[in-house]
């Protein structure tokens, strides 16, 4: 028997997580209802220019899940299925927010299956209230002075403020003069 879908088993949740959003956290909550442990696996991609370095993203996730022994974080490069196999996981988790996510995710899942048929991709849907939330939009909205406190965990909001040098003023971020 494989460890697919068993409590006590490990699921790998890969992504850029630049930065994590409440949508990601919502997916993790759902994964933990089905699987014993989740490993958030951050892709190290030298071709991308992320806002947060890999080390910062690891630290953010550690902080968000401090005290929760069922969630950990790691980094990987190379093929995701190879990483999952090395980690001893037979399940890859991906979140689907809307139909627009589906085509890319479907392609990736089938390619991953071809690369390693022992590893299953499981899609999970976040709460509808997060269906429009993405790391990219969070960064854009924050940078333009919009409120993101309902969209990201407090550690991310703090890191965004530090990154852009914006102090918190009466619940609203303010650009530094």
Tell me the C-alpha distance between 172 and 177, whole Å: 15
- Residue 6: active-site member: no
Stretch that binds ligand PNS, among 13-21, 120-128, 142-150, 154-162 (CB under 6 A): 13-21
Residue range at the interface with ligand PNS (CB under 6 A); choices 9-17, 29-37, 49-57, 65-73: 9-17
Q: Is 16 a catalytic residue?
A: no
Q: Are 135 and 16 in contact (CB under 8 A)?
A: yes
131 has catalytic annotation = no
Show the site string, 119-158: x = touches ligand PNS by CB under 6 A, - = not.
----------------------------------------
Give min distance, CB of 159 to ligand PNS, in A: 18
* Residues carrying an active site annotation: 24, 48, 97, 135
């Amino acid at each position: 028997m494989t460890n697919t879908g068993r409590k006590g088993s490990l699921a790998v949740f890969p992504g850029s997580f630049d930065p994590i959003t409440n949508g990601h956290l919502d997916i993790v909550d759902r994964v933990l209802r089905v699987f014993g442990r989740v490993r958030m696996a951050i892709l190290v991609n030298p071709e991308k220019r992320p806002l947060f370095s890999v080390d910062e993203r690891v630290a953010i996730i550690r902080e968000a899940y401090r005290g929760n022994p069922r969630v950990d974080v790691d980094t990987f490069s190379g093929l995701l299925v190879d990483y999952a196999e090395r980690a001893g996981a037979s399940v890859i988790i991906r979140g689907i927010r809307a139909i627009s996510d589906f085509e890319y995710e479907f392609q990736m899942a089938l390619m991953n299956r071809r690369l390693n048929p022992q590893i299953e991709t499981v899609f999970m849907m976040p709460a509808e209230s997060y269906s429009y939330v993405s790391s990219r939009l969070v960064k854009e909205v924050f940078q333009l002075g919009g409120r993101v406190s309902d969209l990201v965990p407090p550690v991310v909001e703090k890191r965004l403020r530090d990154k852009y040098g914006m102090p918190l003023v009466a619940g609203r971020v303010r650009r530094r003069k």
